[in-house]
Amino acid sequence: MSDQQYYDVIIIGGGHAGTEAALASARTGASTCLISQNIETIGQMSCNPAIGGIGKSHLVKEIDALDGVMAKATDRAGIHFRVLNARKGPAVRATRAQADRQLYKQTIRGFVENQDNLKLFQQTVVDLLIVNGVVKGVKTQLDVIFHANSVVLTTGTFLGGLIHIGMESHTGGRAGDPPSNSLAKRLRELPFRVDRLKTGTPPRIDARSVDFSQLEEQPGDNPRPVMSYLGSIEQHPEQRMCHITYTNADTHDIIRKNLKRSPLFSGKIDGTGPRYCPSIEDKVVRFADRDQHQIFIEPEGLNTQELYPNGISTSLPYDVQIALIRTIKGFENAHITRPGYAIEYDYFDPRDLNFSLETRFIEGLFFAGQINGTTGYEEAAAQGLLAGSNAALKAAGKPLWHPRRDEAYLGVLVDDLVNQGTNEPYRMFTSRAEFRLLLRQDNADARLTQMGRELGLVSNVRWDIFCEKQKKINELTQMLAEFKIIVGTDLANKFNKITDVKISKDSDLLTLLKRPEVNAQHVMKLIDSPDYNLVGEQVEIQIKYQGYIKRQQAEIDKIDRQEQVVLPPELDYLAMEGLSNELREKLAYVKPPTLAKAGRIQGITPAALSLLLIHAKKIRDMS
Amino acid sequence: MTSVNSDRTTSGKLKYASGIETDTIAAIATPAGKGGIGIVRLSGPEAQNILVKIIGKKITPRYATLASFLDQQGEKLDRGLALFFPAPHSFTGEHVAELHGHGGPVIIDLLLSECLSHGARLAKPGEYSERAYHNNKLDLVQAEAIADLINSASANAARAAARSLSGDFSIQINKVAEEIKNLRVYVEASIDFPEEEIDFLTEGQVSQKAQKIVSELKLLLISSEQGVLLRDGIRLVIAGKPNVGKSSLLNCLVGFDRAIVTAHAGTTRDSLSESITLKGLPITFVDTAGLRTTNDVVELEGIKRTHEEIKKADRIILVRDASIKNRALEEELEELNLIDNSDENKKTNDRSDFFGRLLLVNNKMDLIGENLPTINISGNQSVINISALTGAGVDNLVEEIIQLVGYQQQTVGFSARRRHIESLNGALTALELGISQLNTMAAGELFAEDLKCAHMHCGDILGHMSSDELLGEIFSSFCIGK
């Protein structure tokens, strides 16, 4: 006899996308159930034990601004924190932390178990219930039926997962866990376009077998950054050291001699791997002139001896892995605890999604994470948050949302995926964001928290802190603008003493803050209002970037205008005269919902956009 | 969908019905035609201010006012009619100003650049109709008419742009764009991959390289302002089988008008081009190698170049020998490899575009000795009967050519050139700003922003590079892989 259960939203999968999705849905008040094959692996970091980095910490701070948990969990589990690009200016500055895997998982589990409206259930989902193109729920292995208005699929690499070590291969969703093959089969029956991607991991190493005296040390930063705006370094556990070593000519010789035993080079793997994270065998072949490659040795946690040697992911056979590892300085006697492997998995063409991450073919069904062709915990979590909140909005009959490219990296991510699709695992980089100067770590809250509040995602605590911060920023800006410095006065002398800048005409502190030699600390000393010290840097960034931001505003205005032009789905692109065949096909494939989105399709011209505009107008006038 | 953003600033610009801010655009709004009257149209919040600056006075809305058009130094450029249509009662629904000049293409171009120097921006294709659309000024019939116009205008503009990019200009602009791209690859890689062992340029080197690009851009701008590197005007290719009288026709056309501008041997072994001013319109005629099937290597090269010329041409004059028995037109065109008659190609744009540009001439009428009508219609195609030897019928051909090309002259050729100069200027300004950011603020991310802006301006000429393509360049230049 089958059991029946009723929820607003079902989340399938408990990885980084699944947990943020479930938490976001529950935060808005929707009754939510997270179904995972194995509750013990909720919040598991399957790849390297690090959160953040360039482009990625931008996403983490956005998740934080919407009250998601990734940043909070990083502060409770991080054992090594650094600020990247510290010398390059605030827009491209990023935070990265090594995390203790166990602590991270426990922290996420804690958030999930303590969230109101959220239940957990351990079981493999084998089928989706779909009636007339609308999702109605899911069925599990034991024939338990979960009825729901929305379902979010966050199955990671588990759909049709195939693990390769050398010429051996076996099915699996991650080393040690089975894949979800019946669900993969069911999804392949639906009209989604499916393809294969590939990713890899390095062998893990036992720290007791490593000679650390041979390795370069890489300490965390001092002062130590935090990930969440609400976080503090008091939350951080004990900190650990990272290390750096290098491959050498001997390592490369071994790899070259064994290429025929690599599934990558023998043609056994047909999924596409990422260009930016090649396996060590790829690096050796493609950059043959390099005599060494860098390896970052990351501790897996406080209570484990395992190390993650980042930079040498490989799918070579185990015996080759041992041989190549032992050529590396410090690893001469290394013991491999887990062999490295490559994994191939199904992903669904994200061009079959709406910008809310709801699928176009099945109403109420949402996809988030690696299933959409992305890689990385941060990319997955950000999508999870978006899909989860939209699944809840959908269940409540409310309009769905998504941020735009000028509002968030999450907006860039979704827009790139849905508009352009991807043929390699998609990872975020700051160079993907044309409004990079606007999309900074430090203003993620200013860009998103109010929206999050309206959607019901943001708690009272964060909202109050946010409002206070914005108020202080406005007050300080005002204060500095009114703080006049008159040439020849004591104040001018004091300013000169602090900044080493001699002013030649009367001015105010806000204007003076624009100058390269003047910084927030200088002006804070002059106004002596310690209440505002925390927002000083914010005001400085805003005023220093002002000219550029104004320039970007013109571009944003244009997008605003074009976003208002809805392209009706019945537009027949294939029959449109005056477009190249290639463009017709691209447009027909993507079916962009607005003129702005059509404008970002590669190869589109202003003339082609005008044509779309006019055809849209024709359809609108006729209906 | 939007959220608060404390960085956004609102400027004091005007807002329209749609509630969205706009800037002011300008473009030449009329075909040259035989009358030689040209209209420069401005649309946007600054339209009236710019008009006042050029004519030196305010005018009554919707009344045609006679005025002198002045440049920044107060020199008179032209004298003509000025009109102002305040929003929302105008073509676009914005403030619209028009300058109706009497000058030829050069004067109208100067007038346009005057508008640009007062802060207007050169309109992109279709931008007027886009604005009209936003302000609910387009009805269905207008919309359809404009769609047709954009269809043909964009094809013409693409040809004009491709042509103006030939030769030295193309080589130099490509070189500058390549250097900007390479610099971006370094700068973006150092931002996105700070931990990789990449041999990044030091800041001094970056600034030095950028400075070198600035000098190159300046040189390029001087040459293109002088028109040295850019070739404008209408290009007509004379094609056909060998010995049908192509060269005689060229000689005949050259002799028809004494105002020969230049006469030089072409860059190809077998093509010869002559630039002629026919009734005020600059036209370049290109004589090409005769088309036929051959195995001769040199001749094949000539034929290859003929095909390239045909691709770039505004009009193709296909000359046939009337004194011999010719095959049906389509068969002959296929034999000459000019069209593909296979079924899947019968309906393509390329094919209809080719026929749209085709002008048929029957030569050697003197040999037939019959008094055929000078223009007859064969199928959908009109045919002009001439004798290049006696000159009979050539005046008809000239009339036909002028009618054909009259429309395109200013709108396509000159704006293509103006656009290139605008783009180069934009790239230069951005680079100079970026270098100062790098030198005074050590602000790598702002330099990157300016460098991107310069790259975009080059992209306006050469085609844009997406961020993903740039990433591809980074990954193939550097081994990245943490």
Check residue A390 and report its DSSP letter: H
Question: By three-state DSSP, how is residue B159 classified?
Answer: helix
H helices of A328-408, in order, are 377-395
Using a CB–CB cutoff of 8 Å, tell me whether A463 touches chain B.
Answer: no
Tell me, yes or no, if the pTM score tops 0.80. Answer: no
- For A:334-393, CB contacts with B below 8 A are none
How many beta-carbon pairs under 8 angstroms link A with B?
Answer: 205
Find the distance separating the first CA and the last CA of chain B, reported in whole Å: 36
Contact B194 A85 (CB under 8 A): yes
pLDDT of residue B5: 34
In terms of CA atoms, which chain A residue is nearest residue B126? A610
Residue B227 in this model has a pLDDT that exceeds 60: no
Contact A578 B470 (CB under 8 A): no
Check residue B411 and report its DSSP letter: I
Using a CB–CB cutoff of 8 Å, tell me whether A419 touches chain B.
Answer: no
pLDDT tens digits along B369-379: 766 666 666 56
Backbone torsion region of residue A309, taken as left when φ is above 0, otherwise alpha when ψ lies between -120 and 50, otherwise beta: beta
Residues 6+ positions from A349 with CB-CB distance below 8 Å: A192, A193, A194, A195, A373, A421
**pLDDT, greater one: A358 or B446:** A358
Contact A88 B194 (CB under 8 A): yes
Contact B143 A553 (CB under 8 A): no
pLDDT tens digits along A538-595: 999 999 899 888 888 888 887 888 888 889 988 889 888 777 788 888 898 888 999 8
CB contacts, 8 Å: B2 with chain A: 404, 407, 451
pLDDT tens digits along A254-287: 999 999 998 888 778 877 777 788 899 989 998 8
pLDDT of residue A45: 93
Q: Which amino acid is at A9?
A: V
Mutate to test the interface with B, among A476, A548, A552, A564 (most CBs of B within 10 A): A548
B/e letters for A94-104, b = 16+ CB within 10 Å, e = fewer, are bbbbbbbbbbb
* A63 φ, ψ (degrees, to nearest 5): -60, -45
H helices of B293-372, in order, are 297-312, 329-335, 349-357, 365-368
Q: CA-CA distances (angstroms) from residue A125 to A138, A359, B69, B197?
A: 7, 19, 76, 45
pLDDT of residue A140: 93
Quote the mean pLDDT of chain B. 75
Contact A614 B129 (CB under 8 A): yes
Least confident residue range of A441-455, A597-611, B48-62 = A597-611
Distance (Å) from the C-alpha of residue A610 to the closest C-alpha of chain B?
5
- For A:62-101, CB contacts with B below 8 A are 84-85, 87-89, 91-92
The partner residue sitting opposite A614, judged by closest CB among B143, B157, B468, is B143
CB atoms within 10 A of CB A169: 18
Contact B125 A580 (CB under 8 A): no
Q: Which residue has the tokens 């959607």?
A: A455
Tokens of B178: 């390549």
Contact A437 B449 (CB under 8 A): yes
pLDDT tens digits along A111-122: 999 999 999 999
**pLDDT, greater one: A530 or A351:** A351
Mutate to test the interface with B, among A314, A424, A610 (most CBs of B within 10 A): A610
Distance (Å) from the C-alpha of residue B109 to the closest C-alpha of chain A?
22
pLDDT tens digits along B281-305: 667 788 877 777 777 777 777 788 8
Using a CB–CB cutoff of 8 Å, tell me whether A287 touches chain B.
Answer: yes
Question: By three-state DSSP, how is residue A247 classified?
Answer: coil
Residue B405 in this model has a pLDDT that exceeds 70: no
Using a CB–CB cutoff of 8 Å, tell me whether A200 touches chain B.
Answer: no
CB contacts, 8 Å: B140 with chain A: 617-618, 621-622
Based on its alpha-carbon atoms, the radius of gyration of chain B, rounded to whole angstroms, reads 26
**pLDDT, greater one: B175 or A71:** A71
Asked whether the beta carbons of B42 and B26 are under 8 A apart, the reply is yes
H helices of A225-298, in order, are 249-257, 280-286
Contact A436 B9 (CB under 8 A): no
Least confident residue range of A36-45, A156-165, A608-617 = A608-617
pLDDT of residue B439: 82
In angstroms, rounded to a whole number, what is the distance separating the alpha carbons of residues B324 and B240? 14
CB atoms within 10 A of CB A323: 17
Using a CB–CB cutoff of 8 Å, tell me whether A553 touches chain B.
Answer: yes
CB atoms within 10 A of CB A541: 19
Q: What percent of chain B has pLDDT over 90?
A: 16
Q: Which amino acid is at B33?
A: G
Q: Which residue has the tokens 């190249």?
A: A580
pLDDT of residue A124: 92
Q: CA-CA distances (angstroms) from residue A329 to A204, A245, A284?
A: 16, 7, 18
The partner residue sitting opposite B482, judged by closest CB among A310, A404, A578, is A310
Question: By three-state DSSP, how is residue B457 classified?
Answer: helix
Contact B129 A311 (CB under 8 A): no
CB contacts, 8 Å: A430 with chain B: 191-192
In terms of CA atoms, which chain A residue is nearest residue B186? A431
In terms of CA atoms, which chain A residue is nearest residue B13? A554
Q: What percent of chain A has pLDDT over 70?
A: 99
Secondary structure in 3-state letters for A496-563: HHHHCCCCCCCEEHHHHHCCCCCCHHHHHHHHCCHHHHHHHHHHHHHHHHHHHHHHHHHHHHHHHHHH
Residues 6+ positions from A446 with CB-CB distance below 8 Å: A470, B4, B5, B6, B7
CB contacts, 8 Å: B4 with chain A: 446-447, 450, 470
Contact B2 A404 (CB under 8 A): yes
Distance of CA A612 to the CA centre of its chain: 33
Asked whether the beta carbons of B67 and B57 are under 8 A apart, the reply is yes
The partner residue sitting opposite B479, judged by closest CB among A88, A293, A474, is A293
pLDDT tens digits along B82-103: 999 998 888 888 999 999 987 6
**pLDDT, greater one: B130 or B279:** B130
Confidence of residue A55 (pLDDT cuts 50, 70, 90): very high
Task: Indicate the length of chain B as a whole number.
Answer: 482
Tokens of A11: 């989340």
Contact A432 B195 (CB under 8 A): no
pLDDT tens digits along B265-280: 333 345 677 767 666 5
Asked whether the beta carbons of A342 and A199 are under 8 A apart, the reply is yes
Residue A167 in this model has a pLDDT that exceeds 80: yes
